[in-house]
Amino acid sequence: MTSPAFPAVVRVVDSHTEGEPTRVVVDGWRQPAGSTMEARRDDLAAHWDHLRSAVVCEPRGHNAMVGALLTPPVSAGAAAGVIFFNNVGYLGMCGHGTIGVVRTLEHLGRIQIGQVRLDTPVGAVSAELAEDGSVTIRNVPSYCHAKDVAVDLPGLGRVVGDVAYGGNWFFLTHLEGMDVSLGNVDALTRVTLAIMEALRRQGVTGASGAEIDHVELAAPPARPDADGRNFVLCPGGAYDRSPCGTGTSAVMAALHARGKLAVGARWRQESVTGSLFTGWLEASEGQLIPHIRGMAYVTGEATLRFDPTDPFRAGFTAAG
């Protein structure tokens, strides 16, 4: 067996968006082949998956780290393409990651205050970087696919929730009396993993059989300036430290489908860490376009090395 190829070094810029980390690859990683972002993501998965795990998993990263590979754009007017990935695979879109990418591009001097468009495997997203450093993303169209879907958890009983799309597929539910706080993340992780397994066992999917790979629990807010608090389990078993951009998009689409959130009305989503995104829906050509506003902060720049004698140079994760 030939060992996988590694570049000499990969340069990254780290940031966090309302608590959730993003590691943007800015140099060193050979560009994936393909003329669409989907084809490029598939090329990465087929030929460079060892680099995905090397960059975001231990010992260089950890299970909650989301990576973002910048590529040349595929559509006119876009500043760059971006492929998001995590400890187990690839994300269609990533809201907190997009906010992190925008702040990183500003940090690198590649963009200024104002509008920027990025291509992703699930479509183009635009973002506005404001003077105060906040970033507002205009996400891909979102919708509620199915309401009141029941899943049975062994030993825990029946859980009912909505299946909604916000750039990734979500099962949105709440568990009466569940403490949605940082002190309870082990129990929250256990129960949301059980829900994820039950969805798979019972064949509950998004549109066209798409896998539901995020589970979101809603709870009353702890902050006086928030409308709801959440706990979001991501693919790979880590929880989102931010309020989750694609999750907030899915929640707003589901609330709208229930007549509980009007187009344009603000939805202030608090995370399990107490951070906040502000979102709203725009109606455009029969579709609901979520807008999500939050803050990201650059936390570091690093040059990653891949010693050929290192047995862990491709990274490792307990999740995969």
Annotation marks residue 57 as catalytic: no
Write down the least CB distance from residue 235 to ligand PYC, Å.
8
Return residues touching ligand PYC (CB under 6 A).
20, 66, 91, 94-96, 168, 234, 240, 242, 244-246
In terms of CB distance, is 94 or 226 closer to ligand PYC? 94
In terms of CB distance, is 121 or 306 closer to ligand PYC? 121
CA pair distance 178, 170, nearest whole angstrom? 19
Write down the least CB distance from residue 182 to ligand PYC, Å.
17
Marked catalytic residue, from 57, 94, 144, 234: 94
Phi/psi of residue 187, each to 5°?
A: -65, -40
Write down the least CB distance from residue 214 to ligand PYC, Å.
7
Which residues, 6+ apart, have CB-to-CB distance to 293 below 8 Å?
A: 134, 135, 136, 137, 277, 278, 279
Marked catalytic residue, from 57, 144, 234, 244: 244
In terms of CB distance, is 95 or 161 closer to ligand PYC? 95
Phi/psi of residue 253, each to 5°?
A: -65, -40
Annotation marks residue 94 as catalytic: yes
In terms of CB distance, is 95 or 315 closer to ligand PYC? 95
Write down the least CB distance from residue 273 to ligand PYC, Å.
13
* Catalytic residue numbers, as ranges: 94, 244
